[in-house]
Structures are given as structure tokens and as C-alpha cells.
Structure 1
Amino acid sequence: MTGGELLSPEEADGIRESIASAVLGSPAGLADSLEHDPEGYLRLVAAARVGAEESSRLLREAIQGARAAGHSWDAVGGVLGVSRQAAQQRFAVKQPRDAAAAESADGPERRVVTPVTAFTEMAALEEAGRAGWHLVDYGPLRLVVEASDQVWEHRRALVGQRRRLTAEGWTRVGPGSFPWHYFKRPRP
């Protein structure tokens, strides 16, 4: 499967236009300044750099999400137009030598729950939360939970819901994995 089969040309063009609009429109007055201010072009370079960094981050997180959903490196490489090995070398998340090394000798007990996918992780977190474990880290096909004396609830939400969930008492866990952010809170 190639990336061209997953998006129509119109959808791909729409994404490109949205990114270009965001780069030109986010810094106030940037587009207008290009008509008369040479400094505007340096601001355009800076804005394009931020856009490229964000696109790169979203790509890495989308690949982690595809892997967590059970897709192979062959499938990911096919969408990217590269070999399985090239995709894996560029985008595989480096794991600590000992995944249980997430547990510190002096801190609370930690466990690695694996394997989980995007389709099974919330059920695993629900079960862990009922037993007093809460999410502290995650990665492709794994969750790291920490023991506590409370019952926890966990939530996975699409990007853009952080403010509302934080106002409701949820705490964000980790940086997110596009398109998802993970949250937890003790149950009352």
C-alpha cells in the first residue's frame, strides 16, 4: 500500500494548502510584509522552519500510532515510499536496554504492560487503574504504569482537548502521540 492510495490528490492538496496557510498566517502580518519588507522573508523562513519541525513531529507520532495500531514496518515503509528497513531505522523509538529499568530503586513500583495496541490499551489502562496503577509513560506497544494507593481513571483524547480536560481535573501524561494525548486522574 502506498501513500497515494490512502489520500486522494484533492485531499493531499488540501493538506498542503492548509500547512502553507498556517505558515503564512500565524505570524501576524507576515503575508503582507512580503510585499515591502525584506525582513519579512526571514520571518517566513523562521515560520516555515517551525512548520517543518511540527510536520516532522506529527509524522513521527503518526508512525508510532500506526505501529501501536498493529501495522508492520513493511506497511509503514510502503506508505512512506521507502523500504521496511529504512522506515524502521529512521522512525523506530529507541527503548531502554531494560524496559523494566523504568523502575527506580527508591521510587514507587513500576510495571511495563506489553504488548498493547491502540485498540487494546484503554482496556488495559482501565484494568490497571482499578487495581491502583496509573500511567506514567508509554510508547509503541507498551505502557508504563506506577503503583499507588488510589484508584485511577485514564483517558485518551484527540489533540486540542487539553484545556477542557485539564479544567476537569485530568493530568496530561507525556507529550502525546499524534493524534492522541493521554490523561489520568484519581477516581473520587
Structure 2
Amino acid sequence: MSDAPQVRLTLEEYARIREGIASAVLGAPKGLAESLEHDPEGYLRLVAATRTGAEETSRLLREAVQGARAAGHSWDTIGRLLGVSRQAAQQRFATKDAKAPEASPERRILTPLTAFNEMSALAEAGLDRWELVDFGPLYHAVEASDRQWEYRRVTLAVAGRKRRMEADGWTEVGNGYFPWSYFKRPLTDG
């Protein structure tokens, strides 16, 4: 993939992200925002909530960088977006232990996969009676099944979607991998 010029957010996009993060940090612990008006302990809860927010955004950044790499972008391009050198980006974000699990007669590892080909690979595996059980950067692990399966990939940020999908018989696989969640459902005539 050719490297695109440096991507920039608009001021409005930047402000929406900042407001969203601040709202999540202040709104997640019940009563936190109100407690800051009268309770010194509220500020310690704010520190704890902000630390959790920082850890989560750090995890999201790592997963976003791994996704960009899986989509074919170079360390040079990613480094430029992050304001660091290619080497610094690679040292900070290269996955050292992100190996796919071992395959066996009852377990296959679909790899290397990208955001552009993984759903077609999963669709084919599902029709061949392979059930998705695990995933990570560049791979999906499937196990032999007595049924055919269908799969969906959805963005994590869509509120309420998980409940609606579960009501329609979908089961989430794992805890998601930013920016995606993966769901599976047995085919009724499989």
C-alpha cells in the first residue's frame, strides 16, 4: 500500500474527541462530577478514573497502530502521524509476542489477515464448519464444528448494538480488538 500524506484531524474532530474522553472519565464513576464541588475524596476518584482513561487510550492507540500496520501502512507513515521517527514508532508499537496460536487438526489459524480480507476468509471458514474462537493482530483462530457459522464485524463504539445483536442470536467472540468487535452465529440450515 502506498503511504498516504500525513492525516490531520479538524479542530472540530479534535474537540469532539477531547470532550468525549473527558465526559467518559467524569461520567463513569457514579456521582464523580458532582462530588468535586464538596468532597476532597472526589479528586482522588478523578485521578483514578483519569488513569484508567489514559490506560485505555494507550491500549486503543496500540491496537490502532497494529491495525494500520495490518492494513499495509509503513512505520515511517505511522511515525509521522505520531510525531516521532520510524524507529521510535516501531520500537514502541511493534508486537514482539503477538504470535498466532498453534494449529492442530481440530484448530486452524487463518493468517495473515487484514481488515480488507478477514471477513471473506471467515465467511468461507464458517461455511466449511469452522467456528471462530479467538483472534489477534493478523490472525483468526477457528475450531472444527458440526455446524456452519456466519460472522459479523462491527465497530466497538456503536452503543446498544451488542444487545441488539445478542437478541438476534449473535454471540460476541472475545472482548473486541479496536476498532472492531466480532460476532458469530450458527447458520440455521447448516
Tell whether the structures are fold-level matches, with TM greater than 0.5.
yes
CA contact (8 A) 1:136 1:144 kept: yes
Query: Across the two proteins, how many residue pairs are aligned to each other?
Result: 180
Structure 1 counterpart of 2:18: 16
Deviates more, 1:41-50 or 1:166-175: 166-175
Residues 55-66 of structure 1 mapped to structure 2, 5 A cutoff: 55-66=57-68
Q: Post-superposition shift, 1:7?
A: 0.3
Q: Does 1:148 align with 2:145?
A: yes
Q: Post-superposition shift, 1:79?
A: 1.3
Deviates more, 1:134-143 or 1:37-46: 134-143
Deviates more, 1:137-146 or 1:37-46: 137-146
For 1:113, which of 110, 115, 118 is the aligned residue?
A: 110
Q: Post-superposition shift, 1:48?
A: 0.7
CA contact (8 A) 2:106 2:144 kept: yes
Structure 2 counterpart of 1:181: 181
Q: Post-superposition shift, 1:148?
A: 1.7
**Structure 2 gaps, min length 5:** none
Deviates more, 1:111-120 or 1:62-71: 62-71
3-state SS in 2 of match to 1:102: coil
Structure 1 counterpart of 2:54: 52
**Structure 1 gaps, min length 5:** none
Point out 4+ residue stretches in structure 1 off by more than 4 angstroms.
Answer: none
RMSD value, Cα: 2.0
Residue 81 of structure 1 aligns with an amino acid whose one-letter code is G
Alpha-carbon distance in structure 1 between the residues aligned to 2:146 and 2:94: 35
Structure 1 counterpart of 2:123: 126
CA contact (8 A) 2:103 2:109 kept: no
3-state SS in 1 of match to 2:140: strand
**CA offsets 1:154-188 (integer angstroms, 9 cap, x no match):** 11012142222122221211221112101112111
Q: Does 1:95 align with 2:92?
A: no
Alpha-carbon distance in structure 2 between the residues aligned to 1:131 and 1:70: 28
3-state SS in 1 of match to 2:23: helix
Q: Post-superposition shift, 1:126?
A: 0.7
CA contact (8 A) 1:65 1:177 kept: no
Residues 62-77 of structure 1 mapped to structure 2, 5 A cutoff: 62-77=64-79
Q: Post-superposition shift, 1:30?
A: 1.9
Percent identical pairs in the alignment equals: 67
Residue 65 of structure 2 aligns with an amino acid whose one-letter code is I
Q: Which has the larger helix fraction?
A: 1
**CA offsets 1:21-60 (integer angstroms, 9 cap, x no match):** 2212332332232222111111111111121122122212
Distance verdict in 2 for CA 1:167–1:28, change over 3 Å: same
Scaled by the length of structure 2, the TM-score of the pair is 0.84
CA contact (8 A) 1:77 1:84 kept: yes
Structure 2 counterpart of 1:166: 166
